[in-house]
Structures are given as C-alpha cells and as structure tokens.
Amino acid sequence: MLFRCAILVACSCWGVHVHAAEQPNILFILTDDQGWWDLGMRGNTDIDTPVIDQLSRDGVDLTRFYAAPVCAPTRAGLMTGRYCFRTGLYNTRFGGDTLGSGETTIAEVLKKAGYRTGCFGKWHLGKYAPYQPHNRGFDEFLGHYHGHIDEYDYPDQIVHNGKPVEARRYVTDLFTDAAIEFIEGAKDRPWFCYLALNAPHSPWVVGTSHDGQARGDLLINKYLKRGLVLREARIYAMIDIIDQNVGRLLKRLDELDLADDTVVVFMTDNGGVSKHFKAGLKGNKGSIYEGGVRVPLLVRWPDHFPAGGVVAAQCSHVDLFPTFCELAGQALPADLKIDGISLAPLLKAGAGQRHHEYVYHAWDRYHPNPNNRWAISDQRWKLACQVRTGEQATQQNWRLYDLANDPGEKNNVLGKHPQIVKRLRTEFLRWFREVTDGVKYQPAPIPIGHPDERLVEIQPSWATWRGKNIEYVFRGYDWDTIQGWREPGESASWRIDALRGGEYEVAISYGRSARGGGTLKIAVGDQAVETSPPATPTADVFTRIVIGRVSIPRGATTLKAEVVKAHGVELMRLNGVFLRRVGDLKDR
Ligand SMILES: [Ca+2]
C-alpha cells in the first residue's frame, strides 16, 4: 500500500500531522460473553470455529489474558488503558456504564495519528452525547449504546453516528458488513476498525425472522445433534455465525491485499456464559474465578509477529491501549495514569513468561467494593474472594490457588502460605485505594441541549425513585418503565445538565390502563408541568405526548416526576421523559 512507502501528510481535527511509514491498520474484533473455552482450539470438539482457530495458528496466542468479569468495565479498560474505576465507570447499567468525560480513548489517539476510525456493534460506554462513540474519536459508528439489544434479525436500538436508524439483517452479519464497507472506504489512510459484536450475549437469538429462520434452525439442530441442550446449542450457533463472519472479514482483507498491513486482534469481553464445555475452568461471566475473567487474545500480523507464538505471561485488557499506541507510533497521553503495558515486545517475540507483576479484579454492581468479589494474581498465585450479591465476605471466604499447577482453582491452599496471602491482599488493597482515590461513583448527569442530540430521552434506569409502590422494571432499555405509582409524592428523579439554557419542550412516553389513572407532575428546577394522560389500549402499549414547556437555565439541575393524584391500579407506566430545546424545534 502506498501509505506504507511514503511520508504521509494527514489532516485531522487536531491539525496537520506528518507520520512515517509502517503504521499498520488495526482490526480489533471483540465478541460478547464468548468464553475462553468456546473455541475449537481450546479442545472444545463440539464447537465449529475453524477460522478463529486458524487465526491462532497464524498469529500469537496469549494464554493468560484477562478481561474484567463483565462487559462495560472491560470496554472502559480497552478504550483507555486504565482500570475502569479510574474512569468513573462502575456498573453495566443505571448510568454507571458511562466513561468519564476526562478520558482519552484509543480512537482519539489513533485519529490524531492520522487513522480513520470506525466502531461497529456494542458501545456500552455511554448513551448520551457527548459520551457517544462519534464524540469520542470514532469517525464512523453503527451499533447500539446499551449492554444488549433484544432483536437480532431486524436489530433494534441501532444508531448511526448519533441518529437512530432502522436496520435489517442478522446483527452479526450486519456489523461485519459495516466493518467491511468501512475498510473498503478507508483507501489511502491507515484505519482502526473496532468490530464489537454483541453476540453471543443474551438473548440467545438465532434466526427468528421470516427469511433467517432456515439458517438458524439448521445451526441450532447441528448442535442439538451433538448433544447440547437448547440454551447451549443457541450460544454455539451464535458463535458459529461469528466465526463465519470473521472468515468473511479476513477473506476481504486478502482480496484487498491488506492482510500483511493489518494487525488482526481477536478477544472476548469477559468470561463465557456457556456451560457445556469449560476446559476445566471454574466460574462464568461475572465471576472473579478464571472462567469469569480469562479470555482469548489472538493477534496476527504476518512477518512481524511469529505464527504459532504462545505467550504464557499474565496480561490484561488494559494492555491493548498502549499496544495500539506503540504500533501506531504514538506516545501515551501524558496527563493520565495508564495501567496497561504494551504487548508489542511479547508479540514480536511470540513468547514471554513475565509481563504484569499483578493483575486485579473487583466487581460489585452498585459500588466499587474491595471485600466481596475480588481477586489478584501474580504469575503463579491467585488470591480470590467471591460471595453472592448482598452477602458480606469475611476472611473465611478467601481462597488461594496455585494457578501454575491448578488452573481450575480446585485446591485452596490458603492455610499453607500466609505470607503470600498477606502480600497479595496488601497489594490488592493498595491498588484498590489508588484506582478509586477521589472518584465519585454515580450516574453522570444526563446532558441536554447538546447540538448532536436535540431530542434527549431521559431513561428510566438512570432514575432514583422514591415511594412505597413505585418500581423500576427492566425490559431491555427501550421498553423499561417506572410503574406502580399510586400515592401522591411517589417520585422518580434524575440529575440533568443543561449544556445550553433555554426553553425546553417536555414529552413523556407512557402506557396507562383504563383501570387506573391520575395526574403526574414533571418538575425541572422550580418550573413544572402536569398531565392527566388518556388511557392507552393496555398499560404495555406506549405512546408519546407533549405535556408542556419549561425554562431551564444552563448547568446542573434535577428533573423530578411525581404523583399529584392517582386512582385505581396505578397512575401509568412511565417509559421515558423527553426533553427538546425549543430553539431546536425548527431543525427537526
Ligand atoms: Ca460481555
């Protein structure tokens, strides 16, 4: 390719940059909830993943590579090179899945270095502008913001560069198509393509549409015949489709004569959810045991990284940020502590026994917690503690494993090695204090009035709700409700941040049974509007009505929805509040 052989001058929004040859393209494929063991190459004889297996033979396999136990924390680490707690991200839902605005993403770094940047698939690092991918360094985004979607054949909640769009085609095929078109369009610039497939995350949906059912049934049947139960057969069928699409993508790289100029990275974002074959590992997604955090990482760059290389050193998802920076010839951001260490030396050697002295894990949905579900490992030992959500751990729950000889974490040897336990726990607490120091963990205030997002949906899951009867019901984001409102004063409130002051139109989306009803007040600061909305066909049929206007000054304030009066079963099911700046109405 021309841009390998010449000095290039590329323009970006940071200005003009001159960079030398040898900036490889980067194709980063991330799948969702696919386990370390959900690959033929791990000895799983029931799953067909021939393309990804071949990728491991053509590249380097990092056999002790760690993600976080769940989706968004891993993605925060991937995008920033920093453990998620530093970035303010602490949850996978409720607005706690927002990457702090002070962070620098790998897309921003690569864009500045002259790369064309694209993200296709699941973002899961912020729903609102300016937290959306195209605000955070990606020239092109097609995908969804939340942790999952509900429809895979005609995928729902799909957004293109900030604008909701309708899409058809099975979602894995669709995002791969978008990645291919992006690569074809990049032409004379290096590119960074982040293909963040949302499969095989639940719901385990294959072939439900009129035209897609035949393929789905064939694949599910293939795995049922191998003795899998239906749930597992569905997961394997989704992974089978992933493998076929990785094949399509790699074939297109060959056809475009780009394979030698492209670093291909394949990994998954946390432990697997499948249970049919576990390769001897303990735990699944959400766990701090190896099955929850050890994930595949395969890296191919012909003539640069030796085919068949195996790296046994423990490495972490936070390492990809500095690795990509080094491959692109970019310095790390000077103003942020980067936890990752570039993998480039290990990849070039195709071998390595040491990298991070320690790797750390902590997961507690509602607030960072150093006691209930945590782990730390060095190259040999792992100290881990895990109790059920809501339970309080004691030292009785601590486990020490000799990972070098017991990767399945079967034998707790805690009693035999008190000095190792002390060393690991002390280091874990030091790390936990450092990464959480000075960071406040709460949903980011919802920005309104951003020029990229003229109509803002105030999402139910970001609310704080108060009242005896009121409850938040999770139904895949777009169908979430706050419901059960029956008594005056029951309320839901949100923190919002008006980026521009002015008059805003207030609308709600709601469903209301004729067996209930009443009056709801929406207050923003000291202004309020009220509505007594008509019944809808059932309480689960939602409609949107405009209920008035309020004046909102620039800055942070509170939006509160509150029962004025109610009768019958409930006032309504509130599916969302919508704010639109009135000056922007004419731009619709
Ligand atoms: Ca995941």
Could you tell me the distance, in angstroms and rounded to a whole number, from the CA of residue 557 to the centre of ligand 1? 33
Q: How confident is the model at residue 20 (pLDDT cuts 50, 70, 90)?
A: very low
pLDDT mean over 94-111: 96
The residue ranking higher by pLDDT, 3 or 366, is 366
Could you tell me the distance, in angstroms and rounded to a whole number, from the CA of residue 273 to the centre of ligand 1? 9
Residues of the chain above pLDDT 70, percent? 96
Task: Read off the pLDDT of residues 481-537 as tens digits, 9 standing for 90 and up.
Answer: 999 999 999 999 999 999 999 999 999 999 999 999 999 999 999 999 999 999 999
Could you tell me the distance, in angstroms and rounded to a whole number, from the CA of residue 200 to the centre of ligand 1? 9
Could you tell me the distance, in angstroms and rounded to a whole number, from the CA of residue 15 to the centre of ligand 1? 36
With tokens 């007040």, the residue in question is 521
Provide the phi-psi class of 91: left if phi over 0, else alpha when psi is between -120 and 50, else beta.
Answer: beta
Could you tell me the distance, in angstroms and rounded to a whole number, from the CA of residue 71 to the centre of ligand 1? 4
Could you tell me the distance, in angstroms and rounded to a whole number, from the CA of residue 69 to the centre of ligand 1? 8
Confidence check: pLDDT of 2 > 60: no
Could you tell me the distance, in angstroms and rounded to a whole number, from the CA of residue 396 to the centre of ligand 1? 30
Could you tell me the distance, in angstroms and rounded to a whole number, from the CA of residue 150 to the centre of ligand 1? 15
Nearest to 522 by CA among 458, 451, 442, 462: 458
With tokens 């939602």, the residue in question is 542
Could you tell me the distance, in angstroms and rounded to a whole number, from the CA of residue 34 to the centre of ligand 1? 8
Could you tell me the distance, in angstroms and rounded to a whole number, from the CA of residue 299 to the centre of ligand 1? 20
By the 8 A CB rule, do 544 and 507 touch? yes
In DSSP notation, 261-309 reads GEEEEEEESS-----S--TT----TT-SSHHHHEEEEEEE-TTTS-TTE
Could you tell me the distance, in angstroms and rounded to a whole number, from the CA of residue 58 to the centre of ligand 1? 26
Could you tell me the distance, in angstroms and rounded to a whole number, from the CA of residue 199 to the centre of ligand 1? 9
Task: Read off the pLDDT of residues 244-294 as tens digits, 9 standing for 90 and up.
Answer: 999 999 999 999 999 999 999 999 999 999 999 999 999 999 999 999 999
Mean pLDDT of the chain: 94
β-bridge partners, 519: 565
Task: Read off the pLDDT of residues 288-297 as tens digits, 9 standing for 90 and up.
Answer: 999 999 999 9
- For residue 1, the model assigns a pLDDT of 41
Q: How confident is the model at residue 212 (pLDDT cuts 50, 70, 90)?
A: very high
Q: How confident is the model at residue 10 (pLDDT cuts 50, 70, 90)?
A: very low
Could you tell me the distance, in angstroms and rounded to a whole number, from the CA of residue 306 to the centre of ligand 1? 29
Could you tell me the distance, in angstroms and rounded to a whole number, from the CA of residue 576 to the centre of ligand 1? 26
pTM of the model: 0.94
- Domains along the chain with CATH numbers: 2-356 (3.40.720.10), 362-436 (3.30.1120.10), 446-587 (2.60.120.260)
Could you tell me the distance, in angstroms and rounded to a whole number, from the CA of residue 419 to the centre of ligand 1? 35
- For residue 483, the model assigns a pLDDT of 98
- For residue 18, the model assigns a pLDDT of 37
pLDDT mean over 359-376: 95
Task: Read off the pLDDT of residues 146-158 as tens digits, 9 standing for 90 and up.
Answer: 999 999 999 999 9
- For residue 66, the model assigns a pLDDT of 98
Residues of the chain above pLDDT 90, percent? 92
Confidence check: pLDDT of 15 > 80: no
pLDDT mean over 374-386: 98
By the 8 A CB rule, do 571 and 486 touch? yes
pLDDT mean over 42-60: 98
Could you tell me the distance, in angstroms and rounded to a whole number, from the CA of residue 70 to the centre of ligand 1? 5
Confidence check: pLDDT of 588 > 60: no
Task: Read off the pLDDT of residues 332-354 as tens digits, 9 standing for 90 and up.
Answer: 999 999 999 999 999 999 999 99
Could you tell me the distance, in angstroms and rounded to a whole number, from the CA of residue 355 to the centre of ligand 1? 25
Could you tell me the end-to-end alpha-carbon distance of the chain, in angstroms, rounded to an integer?
A: 43
